[in-house]
Amino acid sequence: MRLKLSYKLFLINAGIIFALTSVFVGLSYYVSKSMYSNALNGIDLDVMESLAANLSEDYKKSGSWDAYVNDSAHWKQTADNNFFSVFFALMAKVAESTGQGGVPPGGPMPPVPVENPKWEFPFGTFSQRLSLLNPEKQPLIEPEIFNIDASYQKIKLNGEIIGWLRVGRINVDMLPLAQYFFDQQLRVVYGAAIVGGIIAAILSFLLSRHITAPIRDLTLGAKQIARRNFQSVIKINTRDELQELAESFNTISKELELHQTRQKQWLMDVSHELKAPLTLLVGEVFAICDNLSKCDDTTASFLQNEVKHIKRMADDLYQLCQMDEVGFNLNQQMIELQPFLEYQVRRYADKFNTHNIQLNESYATDPIYLEVDCDRLSQVLSNIFENCLRYMDSPGELWIGLEQSNAKAVLTVEDSGPGVAEDSLVKLFDRHFSVHTDGRRASGGAGLGLAICKEIITAHGGEISAVSGRRGGLCIRISLPLKKGYVHE
């Protein structure tokens, strides 16, 4: 079962929202309790600091803690006075800073009540949790309510510790009002989380559909391309990677359409090229069978040439298909290029003479060595020479040159004409391209032999190109990398 991308995005976002909401609720509850506890225990710390200063003054006068150790009421009264004095001062300061409680900013503080209020707490009052310790932290006055978790404050006189104050920390879980406050706050947080989660889920669903909408268009476009409908255009204006992908799809569609057009043209050219010799061949065979023509040497030679022409095209098509399917399996060996090239030229010398084509050869003075597949390179030269024989004007001239340039062997084959238009030169090696001119060069399915040449040279790590020759014809230029250690400086 496939799960749509929009659903996946929605589930991922919903999971993230749930996780964040859970963390938010937990942190809100924890932070609220922590802040409330720190606020209450912070008041105790302020009171302890004030009380320590007052006790230091009393110790300076009496020189001992006996007044407090022997009189528990005096100890309790001193602790309560300090607590309420600091507490009400803090409350007044808060009221002044917030502009509440009828106290104008900068106005006088409200008076501290004459009598301390009677407050009772589950965890005990400040004085009930307070104890006095000697410098070694041994108890002098025990607290009424003992708590292991406690805060300490030094009592100093002239820089020396004369005692310690210890007060048990407040546990807010023991306050019913605080717990009620936390429960109410938790309900509010839960409600906000639920409402926010619903809104976030709706927005997440809409966002996921917005993100996946271009993907649906891309999918439909890909299906159109699969049906060979290259006219369809994918329009996405998201200004992001999806738009770039859609533009790439449109580019691919245009290239495939162009490839299809070229392929159709190429097939038409090949069929046209095969149709002519086959028509002549069939007509001549039927004429011989119907005793309308004699099978003499001239007729046999004609039939043989037409069969060779058909076979050559069939071989070229087979080789191109084989190159596309399995590539090359080069059988390379070290050779000296000049003797090899001279041998290939001698093989075609008689044919060139027959066509009244004069050969001009020019070779490098130093020997040139490189690793090549001799059969494949011979095939390249044969294709080039065959094209020269088929398309050159007669009489004519052919210039063959070999030199070393920048660690490469450069072979040039230039004819005397006719040439090829400049805009067609770069396309001569495209198997799907043909040039239709009034002349014979590159007409009727051109590109098969040259396409094979390009594949072979590229497999050797070299380059092959066609340029307009200096003598009015076409110049084929082949460059092959030399083997390391055989480069002449």
Q: Which pLDDT score is estimated for 122?
A: 58
Q: Which pLDDT score is estimated for 96?
A: 72
Q: Which pLDDT score is estimated for 328?
A: 64
pLDDT band at 298 (very low <50, low <70, confident <90, very high): confident
pLDDT > 90? residue 479: yes
In this structure, are residues 105 and 96 in contact, taking their beta carbons and an 8 Å threshold?
yes
Q: Which pLDDT score is estimated for 437?
A: 46
Q: How far is CA 281 from CA 221, 286, 290, 291, 305, in A?
A: 48, 9, 14, 15, 10
Kindly report whether the peptide bond that precedes residue 395 is cis, defined as omega within 30 degrees of 0: yes
**How far is the C-alpha of 476 from the C-alpha of 384, rounded, in Å?**
8
And the tokens for 472? Answer: 């009015």
Kindly report the average pLDDT of the chain as a whole number.
78
Domains and CATH numbers, the chain: 5-177 (no CATH), 241-324 (1.10.287.130), 330-481 (3.30.565.10)
Which residue(s) pair with 333 in the sheet? 372
Angle at 58 between CA 53 and CA 64, to 5 degrees: 115
Q: Which pLDDT score is estimated for 58?
A: 87
Q: Which pLDDT score is estimated for 379?
A: 85
Mean pLDDT of the 341-365 span: 91
Q: Which pLDDT score is estimated for 121?
A: 57
* CA-closest candidate to residue 270, choices 439, 438, 451: 451
Segment among 148-152, 324-328, 358-362, 453-457 with least mean pLDDT: 324-328
pLDDT > 80? residue 144: yes
Q: Which pLDDT score is estimated for 477?
A: 94
